[in-house]
Chain A
Amino acid sequence: MSNNTHAPQPYWNPYLAGFGVGLALLAAFVFMGRGLGASSAFAAFAGAGVSAVAPEFAKHHAYFADYATGNPFKEWLVFEVMGVFLGGLVSGLLANRTRLTIEHGPRWTNAKRLVFAFGGGAIMAFGAKIAGGCTSGQGLTGGALLNAGSWLFMGTMFAGAYGIAYFVRKQWT
């Protein structure tokens, strides 16, 4: 639809995009009786990795044992996350927004950005595992179900993000 121009198209009205996200979430409730998620799919990958390298260790470890038996590619959330990847790719292609790039502010370098991305991902893993979900599983899903723990989670998540923002401002602004 936009093959004649290479400029990325503007983003949608965020409220309209949010409405779409809400309908996808509602479909998950109606079809499955559960909400959306993301972080557990990566826990499954990590668990599968540990089981592949050290199967005996994994089998007797309280945390990895859960992943040692099943096939991570049969997990519901793994399929959902593969769908997220495809959906994001399709939308990006349609709007000319796919490009190989590293995003950061003008006062930051690519190398520092990648170190922060890795570290942030690792911190996120701890946060998601401790909280029992991420922005999708606790924030969106729990928020829509009026889950008490999810609203506590969202409060401290925004507090943590705004609290740290000043200290890493050079990365983004």
Chain B
Amino acid sequence: MNAPFFKYGLFGDDTSLVVAFAIGIAFGFFLERGGFGSGRKLAAQFYFKDMAVLKVMFTGIITAMVGVYWLSRVGFLDLSLVYLVPTRPLANMVGGLLLGIGFVIGGYCPGTSVVAAATGRIDAMVYLMGMVSGMGAVGFAWPSLEGWVNANALGPATLPGLSGIPYGVIVALVVVMAIVAFVAAEWGEVKSGGRALAEQSLFGVHKLTRTWGLFLGLLGLAFVAALAGSPYRGPRVTLDGNALGRTAATGADHVSPATLADRLIAGTNEYRLIDLRSPEAYLKDHIPGAENVSMTALPAALWTPTEPVLLYSEDGERAAQAWLYLKARGFPRVSTLAGGYAGWREQVLSPTLPEPKDEVARLEAERERAIAAHFGGAARIPLAAAALGLTPGVSPAAQVAPTQVASPRQIATPPPQVVTPPAPVAPAAPSASGAKKKEGC
């Protein structure tokens, strides 16, 4: 069995909501057990009276971190398919600062406010109203924030990836750091007059309590992790090189711009469109419905290994590299757009129309012109025809519905709503994140 289960197609979207609800129940239950339904208890963290926020949060972090490492290391969990919020250093720091300020003034963070509201804290209910109002206000302010929030984005970045220190070594360092922080926090509590029960403490306890047992266990697993190598699956994938060669030779998974355009207009496109170009190029123009994903974010951005994906880059080179990358990562249904975005531009957005020497050519010219207009482009008139003043398709030619019978290519032709301007493509955040908005906090 392979995890993440959802990404390996073990269950679908509807079941995922049941899973969300169940995991939420567990999360809320343990938060309340830890005392996070009380604003006073939460705020006490910042007056050194009761360091429960630090203890619960970092025990949670190191438990899940050690768990993720080992489940990945034994080959059960594919870590590269776990979504990482893209790193934007400036936005992460400014946002964190505001969040800390809001935490102490408001008394809660978003998750704990839900638990506190559930247990009757009226201040938490008001806090939630403030947060929803604030979320609305952020929306109105977003056009002026978006620029710098998305500036200098590093994409998905991990501490081991950036530092070059092995993953397992960082896992061990974080566990050691957390335990030192816990001991220091308890020392601080004692100094400020509080003293937790011995069985709930690390500091000054010299016997093997359950608490020490938990942390010695995590510490042991973390120390072995430091020596046990990378948790990523990468190098262990086997590829059928000959099958790969045959596919490449026949071009079986190339999709031509014309075919894609026809399918998009007819609504029969089953591919998820991935634009591998820079966020700037993507924002300027892209194929309707495409998502902007960086090469590094690619495996995690894909939902399931079985979903059909169509990749394109400017000239097709990066798309070809990404094709191989995804094949090597075990994604069988990857195709590329022949000629890349340049080909799309050349063949769909501004095709050079055939000379209208006979009826068939004239109809084909009208068809191409209509398709170009549908996607917001403009067809080019061949030089000779232009010289003679013969524009293919007279008057509002772009508005003439392409006719099925005359299509020399015998493919499903667009329905006659070509007059409609191309759907304005929402300038979605140029997310290197894989554009799956759902995955944020």
Contacts and interface: CB of A to CB of B under 8 A. Distances in A.
A59 to B, nearest CB: 9
B29 A146 contact: no
Given A22-B64, A91-B28, A33 B110 contact: no
Contacts of B109: 38, 124, 134-136
A7 to B, nearest CB: 15
Given A26-B63, A28-B23, A131 B99 contact: yes
Nearest to B439: A34
Interface string B152-188: 0010111111100001001100100000001000000
Interface in B86-103: 86-89, 91-103
Contact of A30 (B3, B127, B131, B440): B3
Given A120-B106, A120-B127, A85 B28 contact: yes
Contacts of B426: 62, 65-66
A22 to B, nearest CB: 3
Given A30-B4, A132-B95, A84 B438 contact: no
Given A157-B103, A161-B104, A79 B17 contact: yes
A130 interface: yes
A146 B138 contact: no
Contacts, number: 589
B103 A77 contact: no
Chain A binding surface SS class: helix
Given A21-B59, A131-B94, A152-B89, A146 B199 contact: no
A44 B139 CA distance: 11
B98 A123 contact: yes
Question: Which among A137, A138, A146 has the highest number of chain B CB atoms within 10 Å?
Answer: A146
Interface residues of B, number: 146
Interface string A13-45: 111111111111111111111111111101101
A28 B4 CA distance: 9
B119 A124 contact: no
B120 to A, nearest CB: 4
Given A19-B214, A76-B16, A164 B101 contact: yes
A109 to B, nearest CB: 12
B30 A37 contact: no
Interface string B107-144: 11111111111111111101111111111111111110
Chain B binding surface SS class: helix
A129 B145 CA distance: 10
Nearest to B29: A87
B110 A14 contact: no
Interface in B1-35: 3-7, 16-35
Nearest to A58: B139
A103 interface: yes
Question: Which among B37, B64, B103, B215 has the highest number of chain A CB atoms within 10 Å?
Answer: B64
Question: Which among A20, A118, A123, A130 has the highest number of chain B CB atoms within 10 Å?
Answer: A130
A131 B91 contact: yes
Interface of B: 3-7, 16-35, 37-41, 43-47, 49, 52, 55-65, 67-68, 71, 77, 81-89, 91-124, 126-143, 145-146, 149, 154, 156-162, 167, 170-171, 174, 182, 197, 199-200, 210-211, 214-215, 300, 424, 426-428, 437-441
Given A21-B34, A127-B96, A137-B441, 14 more contacts: A15-B200, A22-B61, A27-B23, A31-B4, A32-B4, A37-B440, A81-B114, A88-B115, A91-B29, A119-B130, A135-B57, A145-B82, A153-B95, A160-B100
